[in-house]
Amino acid sequence: MKYLGALLTMCLGLAALSCGGNRTANAAAEGTPTELKARLMGDFRADSAYAHIERQVSFGPRVPGSEGHHACRNYIINTLERYAADTVIVQDAEVTAFNGDRLPITNIMASYNPDTQRRILLLAHWDTRPWADLENTRELREKPILGANDGGSGVGVLLEIARNFQLIDPEIGVDLLFVDAEDYGNSTGFVENTESWCLGTQYWTEHMPYKEGKLLPAYGVLLDMVGGKDARFHQEMFSIQNAPNVTNKIWAEAAILGYDDVFIPSQGGAVTDDHIFLHKAGIPTVDVIETVNEHTGTFPPTWHTHADNMDNIDKHSLEAVGRTILNVVYKEKNS
């Protein structure tokens, strides 16, 4: 993904203003462990999401065409089948990257209640970046990153959500989509190069596996870099523009669960990511992504570096995201 910009002054002002309010809401939402448990729907376990990330990282970088990529593809498919998804669609294809590289890609979609008209889409990219653009030396920049957070984290949370669906069926239809080749884009120059990113999602929107006459998902939620240390998720700019109600719903649910130290209800940066292409295809989508990191003011400090490894994965961030999204899904009614 690529950072496009931010209204930082306005943002910081809002964050400062909302500080006092957050503490009050937090105290109100925390309650006793029994009370929190009563508000939680499902049984999202951060340990399990973490283990799924560890497993992906153990395959090495998941650059399209690499050995690690192939192993991870099979791991995601096998895990979804083990958690008894109703259907698992495997979409193998070949796309061309901005530099001419031919990439063998695989998009994977697991569906729950596939015949239910009202449905939502949860997605994450599972590939990892072939370069470490933000490293200081050319030698380090040319090596692929491990992508524990950037790639691994969203997948880890979605797989743990899949385990929950095996235990408690959601009332609506849900599609879990794992898209490939998000992170093979062109980060050089002053042009945005938007189309060079998210190749898997672009392919998917051109070949969406929804039957003729069937409604598209009402909305999508993209999880990208959701496992960073002390992560804070501001509301990404295109998400507010394209899916304001869903954005509000997610941040409100986080506050109910006491995660308003993680989900900050003010505007963050604007990002080129998979949600842009889904919106164009008719599925308004929210990107849960860290764009106002407290150290960098933008993405987390490990972004596109070799520090994007298991040492920098935070179970509290995974828990906040997983539990919030699971609650949002389980509260959706089929009417």
Q: Where on the chain is the footprint of Zn ion (CB under 5 A)?
A: 150, 183
C-beta of 306: minimal distance to Zn ion in Å? 13
Q: How far is Cα 214 from Cα 203, in angstroms, rounded to an integer?
A: 19
For residue 85, the number of C-alpha atoms closer than 13 Å in the C-beta half-sphere is 26
Q: How far is Cα 290 from Cα 265, in angstroms, rounded to an integer?
A: 13
- Is the CB of 170 or the CB of 228 nearer to Zn ion? 228
Between helix 315-331 and helix 154-167 the angle, nearest 10°, is 40
C-beta of 84: minimal distance to Zn ion in Å? 31
C-beta of 148: minimal distance to Zn ion in Å? 12
Q: How far is Cα 312 from Cα 316, in angstroms, rounded to an integer?
A: 12
For tokens 């979409």, name the residue: 91
For residue 276, the number of C-alpha atoms closer than 13 Å in the C-beta half-sphere is 19
- Is the CB of 26 or the CB of 309 nearer to Zn ion? 309
- Is the CB of 183 or the CB of 332 nearer to Zn ion? 183
C-beta of 131: minimal distance to Zn ion in Å? 10
C-beta of 183: minimal distance to Zn ion in Å? 4
- Is the CB of 183 or the CB of 314 nearer to Zn ion? 183
C-beta of 198: minimal distance to Zn ion in Å? 11
Q: How far is Cα 279 from Cα 194, in angstroms, rounded to an integer?
A: 14
- Is the CB of 80 or the CB of 231 nearer to Zn ion? 231
Measured between alpha carbons, how far is residue 27 from residues 36, 111, 292 in Å? 12, 37, 24
Alpha helices in the chain (DSSP H): 8-30, 33-39, 46-58, 67-82, 138-141, 154-167, 199-206, 237-242, 244-256, 274-280, 315-331
- Is the CB of 114 or the CB of 154 nearer to Zn ion? 154
